[in-house]
Amino acid sequence: MAVALLLQGIILLAAAAAGWIFLHRIRQRNSKDPKTWPLLGAQLETAFNLYPLHDWIFSFFRNDHRTVKLCLPSENLLFTVDPMNVEHILKANFANYPKGEKSNYVAHDILGDGIFNSDGDVWKKHRKLRDFFTDAFRTDALRLVHILHSAALSDKPIDLQVNEIIGIRFFNAFWQIERALNIGKERSLKQEVSVLNSFTANIIDQKRLELQGNNRSKVHLLSRFMSYNEDHPGTFTDREFRDAVLNFVIAGRDTSAITLSWFIFCICIHPHVADMTKKVLRLKDSTRGYTFEEVAKRMSYDTLGTMHYLRAPLTETLRLYPAVPTDGKVAAGEDTLPDGTQVKRGDRVAYYHYSMGRMEFLWGKDALTYNPDHWLQEGFSNRTLPSSFQHLSFLDAEYTPIEVM
């Protein structure tokens, strides 16, 4: 009798659960957002679509549905492609949308409190040193060119892209459990961070010895930081040196690597773009070739700004394949976005660059086509120029269209 009652109870419980799930899914039949399950939210759908994540999120956007809600057990995420919403988040109501403690926590293992992972005074502190970067980037870019040239001559492949675990954390509600159990990707991350910390500590020690010996390098980024610290004692701790270095080694290097990878890919499958770029560059300078070193010496923000047709295919690459596919903030208080979306305190609100670059209402019917003419003056003849809040990957508030040469 007891066994029969137990079985009946299990059957009734299963039937109730099935009915609950069925009704929950029925209520979502007209939803334009990712479907959810009781208790789990959209975690299952997200897990199944983790690797085609950007295309999966893009599939929910429509010209008349510009903000997508993704409900996870840990939080609600609002993704938007509406430039008015983006301007609201980044300008009109900027104070209500900090990066948030969770973003810092999720990425802290690698980025620490560096410029890409901080708010307020800490962010301002790192930003003051941006003027140190030009010489270092020019020197390292020259080294990269020689490496790529050597690989091209020997027909060897090069892997330019890395780092996915931190990004996955934002969509995995159970990553902290994996970290506590030291399993899966979290175990790999722990090992990799240990190597990075050891590498960075050795570099800091080496640079400190060089500075003590009055060997002040003018091109190494870390040397600039440490020299600044000597002139302003106590400004940066070794931990902050570590965070600053890894923010630029990882975040800076990865974004450049991603952009270079997609740029090379795009011009390879569109050879006419590569031919036009080379032709314009030759006409701009002279008929003779320049060595890599000569080109590097000529590079500056001003000279790069005159290379119009180089800017066009590069910016078009960033439109379709942004180095940072999505970026977001956390709502400090309740808010209403310009498109009417209600935001609750604690919601994560992200502007989805990857999807924004593909929306027809922003770029026209050929939004999915790689076409550098999007960035030439005559390409905008029938519509308005993009604003900074339409193409965040590349533009600034003073953007003007590229002149056709």
Q: What is the 3-state secondary structure (H, E, C) of the chain?
A: CHHHHHHHHHHHHHHHHHHHHHHHHHCCCCCCCCCCECCCECHHHHHHCCCCHHHHHHCCCECCECEEEEECCCCEEEEECCHHHHHHHHHHCHHHCCCCHHHHHHHHHHHCCCHHHCCHHHHHHHHCCHHHHHHHHHHHHHHHHHHHHHHHHHCCCCCCCCCCHHHHHCCCCCHHHHHHHCCHHHHHHHHHHHHHHHHHHHHHHHHHHHHHCCCCCCCCHHHHHHHHHHHCCCCCCHHHHHHHHHHHHHHHHHHHHHHHHHHHHHHHHCHHHHHHHHHHHHHHHCCCCCCHHHHHHHCCHHHHHHCHHHHHHHHHHHHHCCCCCCEEEECCCCEECCCCCEECCCCEEEECHHHHCCCHHHHCCCCCCCCHHHHEHHHHCCCCCCCCCCCCCCCCCCCCCECCC
pLDDT tens column, 200-216: 888 788 877 777 766 55
Across 22-26, 54-58, 72-76, 312-316, least confident range: 22-26
The mean pLDDT of the chain is 75
Domain membership of residue 71 (yes or no) is yes
* The pLDDT of residue 110: 55
Across 69-83, 106-120, 259-273, least confident range: 106-120
Domain boundary among 241, 256, 271: 256
Based on the fold, state whether residues 124 and 207 are members of the same structural domain: yes
Number of C-alpha atoms within 13 angstroms, CB side, residue 54?
17
Across 6-10, 260-264, 312-316, least confident range: 6-10
Share of the chain above pLDDT 70, in %: 67
Domain membership of residue 301 (yes or no) is no
Tokens of 377: 């003056």
CA distance 123 to 115: 5
Based on the fold, state whether residues 93 and 114 are members of the same structural domain: no
Based on the fold, state whether residues 56 and 156 are members of the same structural domain: no
pLDDT tens column, 321-338: 988 888 888 888 999 999
Q: What is the mean pLDDT of residues 103-131?
A: 53
> What is the pairing mode between strands 76-80 and 348-351?
parallel
Amino acid at 389: F
Domain membership of residue 373 (yes or no) is yes
Domain boundary among 210, 233, 256: 256
Domain membership of residue 338 (yes or no) is yes
Domain boundary among 209, 241, 256: 256
pLDDT tens column, 146-191: 888 888 888 888 766 576 677 777 777 778 888 888 888 888 888 8
395 confidence band (pLDDT: 50, 70, 90): very low
Q: What is the mean pLDDT of residues 207-230?
A: 66
402 confidence band (pLDDT: 50, 70, 90): very low
Based on the fold, state whether residues 151 and 218 are members of the same structural domain: yes
Model pTM? 0.67
**Structural domain boundaries enclosing 166:** 110-256
Identify the CATH number of the domain in which residue 377 sits.
3.30.43.20
* The pLDDT of residue 404: 38
Domain membership of residue 90 (yes or no) is yes
Sheet containing 76-80: order of strands? 67-71, 76-80, 348-351, 327-330
Closest CA to 212 of 201, 223, 199: 223
Domain membership of residue 286 (yes or no) is no
Domain membership of residue 402 (yes or no) is yes
Domain count, the chain: 2
Based on the fold, state whether residues 115 and 209 are members of the same structural domain: yes
Domain membership of residue 270 (yes or no) is no
